[in-house]
Amino acid sequence: MAAAGASAYLESRRQLAIADNHELAAREARATAARYGIAAVTEKQVAKRLSPLSAVGYTLLADRGWPGSRRAQVDLVVVGPSGVFIVDTKAWKDVEIAAGHIYRGQEDVTEDLDGLADLAYSTEQVMADIGLAPGEVHAVAVLAGRKGINAMVGTVDVIGEFDVVQYVARGGQRLTSAQVDAVLAVALRHFPVLGTPPPVDVTIAEPVVADDPEPLDLSTDDEVNDAIMAGILAAPIEDWMSFLHPDQARLVRRSFGGPARIRGSAGTGKTVVGLHRAAYLARSKPGRVLVTTYVKSLPAVLSTLLHRMAPDVSDRVDFVSAHAFARRLLRERGIHCALDSKRADAAFAAAWREIGVPGPLGKLDQSPRYWKDEILQVIKGRGITAFEPYADLARTGRRRQLRIEQRRAMWDLYVAYDKRLRADGIHDFNDVITLAAASLRDKPLDTYSAVIVDEAQDLSCSMIRMLHQLVGNEPDGLTLIGDGRQTVYPGGYTLAEVGISLAGRGVVMTTNYRNTAEILDLASTMVASDDVTDIEGPDHADAAPLVARTGAAPVVKSFTSGKSHDADLVARIQQVTRDVATDLGDVAVLVLDRYALAPVSLALSAAKIATVDLDSYDGSIVNAVKVGTIKRAKGLEFKQVLLAGVKEALLNGATPTDAASLERYELQRRELYVGMTRARDGLWVGVVT
């Protein structure tokens, strides 16, 4: 009897447990249904908010399959002129965004956005196969029922429901109609159609958004229309800012396990890839990105271009020349640096009179120019502080061979120059780099997670070493971009001297997208006989690139007077702006020597042709002819280029036989190569006989 009672009791407890479990399961089912129900409602609301965009070239793909999953779905994919937007609607209440995290009440739900971020990343890869730049794919978490929210959590944009139209439309016309069609075709394949989902119970058991939200100042039809109209009227962005060749787009996203090198001849799009890579790394890595180069005016131009190309991350990328970076570092750390180039020149002149002229160097070459370059580019440019390393140095890139006694005399000249600098309490530009590098060794800087060096072949060995100190051998830390054929400064070195190993992380770009075959044929004659000195070593000369375009033959004219030269130059500008329908802002007049700028500027002024000096040009759109030296034009391109005042000996003269003259001759012809390859459609060369 007792046993029977115990058995009955246990059975009753079992039945109660089963009932409790059923009730618990029922409650969970109702809650789940409620969550799916409110999600379905809010997703439709967001789709409705965005629907006006369909009238101006946008396609809305709702409830598409999540790539790689049988069941998961993507709320909404929007494809249109301002890019691709992968939308996930969040019906969350009590949301707060702070310090890069998103909270629901006290709970940190930042990781809930990781899946959306990963989806955008994988979509970038798929879109790169047709050339869409990574920055044109956006992961968007839309907060239902909210307004006035525009934040970023990791790589996901968090937007209020009532701000989403303005958010999408403000990108403007980044893609052409043909590009939108190409992207849409890929999106339709990448995000498959799902079967019809089963009906859900939309009864809300527990509120997900606020029960009694504060009244919102909702977007009116006029506000929506104004946002759409602003997007339509936004100036179309250059094609290369949003669409690249697929090889370039894939290279932008490529991950390297340490320092990397991207090289290729002029016109292959190295600078464009570097800009896109800067934006990509700013989105995907913590910390800031530094983009640097040798030419002091180029960073301002690149900064302006990035702001137009990727405004969402432009505030996380620093653009500054290598020297300016070093000076800023020293200033911020309170390290004294008395840079005075004029007094430094005087110090060298005095040392040359005292040591150079009466010694072996003066007997070899009375001109101090070669020997000054030896100090600045070879000795101080490498950071050499003792004679022994200099005695054994290969002196890459220098044509004149120096015997050991001549190297000792060279070292004596360097020591005399350096002592005079110290006695006067001044520094030259190389000292700035040396001081900054020493400071970084003592106190590393953790500001930057990536450094991109454009025109890397122009930087000294010491500069590359200093920049390498910022990121070391971290994956995707240091990217060097350049071309040995475009080296326009004396001396040279290899990365092995710096202590940098690329270990297979070198990429060669092989297709010229800028120049016509005719322009490149002429330009290539300037460097055809060069022994290319590349920072990767002497065996890294690249083959002739593939050329995608043809056009008019370059015009090379000889003149016996400056007056006739300048008159024809003006006539050429007037002709291309009239007959070829080229804006003045797409024309550049370039010279080898800054002293040649004055007559050119006077001739253009007399003809009432607006000009802007490349020294002050910052990349902003301006309807004026760009005028400057070829060195200032590095990294830039123009539809029409006019090379003014070129000496006939550089084009058609006999090759010098002595080593120093041959070195200068080759450097100047490389400059002409750089100048010619700035031209996209047309080239005029004015030769003075």
Q: Domain with 281 in it: what CATH number?
A: 3.40.50.300
Establish if 533 belongs to a structural domain: no
Residues 93 and 188 occupy one common structural domain: yes
Cα–Cα distances (Å) from 32 to 28, 37, 108, 194, 203, in that order, read: 6, 8, 21, 20, 10
CA 661 to chain CA mean position, Å: 37
Q: 435 with 427: CB under 8 angstroms?
A: yes
Burial of residue 617 (CB within 10 Å: 0-12, 13-18, 19+) is buried
Residues 456 and 309 occupy one common structural domain: yes
Q: What are phi and psi of 82, to 5 degrees?
A: -100, 10
Other CB atoms within 10 A of residue 577 CB: 17
β-pair type (101-104, 107-108): antiparallel
Establish if 252 belongs to a structural domain: yes
Establish if 214 belongs to a structural domain: no
Residues 563 and 583 occupy one common structural domain: yes
How many domains is the chain partitioned into structurally?
4
Residues 469 and 601 occupy one common structural domain: no
Residues 229 and 372 occupy one common structural domain: no
Tell me the CB-side half-sphere exposure of residue 160, using CA atoms within 13 A.
Answer: 16
- Domain stops at, among 360, 392, 426: 426
Establish if 522 belongs to a structural domain: no
**In this structure, what DSSP letter does residue 339 have?**
B
Establish if 645 belongs to a structural domain: yes
Residues 499 and 396 occupy one common structural domain: no
Residues 178 and 260 occupy one common structural domain: no
Compute the distance between CA of residue 345 and CA of residue 433 in angstroms, rounded to an integer: 18
- Domain stops at, among 373, 403, 426: 426
Q: Residue 158 corresponds to which tokens in the numbers above?
A: 């968090």
Q: Look at residues 231, 132, 116, 218 and name the one whose alpha carbon lies nearest to residue 181.
A: 132
Establish if 526 belongs to a structural domain: no
Compute the distance between CA of residue 79 and CA of residue 76 in angstroms, rounded to an integer: 10
Q: Residue 130 corresponds to which tokens in the numbers above?
A: 């047709």
- Could you tell me the mean pLDDT of each successive run of 10 residues in the chain, 689 residues long? 45 48 44 44 86 91 90 93 96 90 94 96 96 96 93 94 93 92 95 64 40 48 70 72 92 96 93 96 95 94 94 95 97 96 97 96 93 96 95 90 96 98 97 97 97 95 97 97 88 87 92 94 89 69 78 96 96 93 93 92 96 94 95 94 95 85 91 96 95
Q: Look at residues 174, 193, 184 and name the one whose alpha carbon lies nearest to residue 64.
A: 193
Residues 367 and 472 occupy one common structural domain: no
- Give the pLDDT confidence score for residue 42 in this predicted structure: 75
Residue recorded with tokens 């300048």 = 566
- Domain enclosing residue 85, as ranges: 27-209+221-239
Residues 671 and 589 occupy one common structural domain: yes
Residues 268 and 347 occupy one common structural domain: no
Residues 83 and 166 occupy one common structural domain: yes
Per the DSSP assignment, residues forming a β-bridge with 679 are 638
Angle 130-187-281 from CA coordinates, rounded to 5°: 60
Computed over its alpha carbons, how large is the radius of gyration of the chain? 32
Alpha carbon distance, N-terminus to C-terminus of the chain: 128
Establish if 654 belongs to a structural domain: yes
Residues 321 and 367 occupy one common structural domain: no
What is the value of pTM for the model shown? 0.86
Establish if 65 belongs to a structural domain: yes
- Domain stops at, among 426, 454, 470: 426
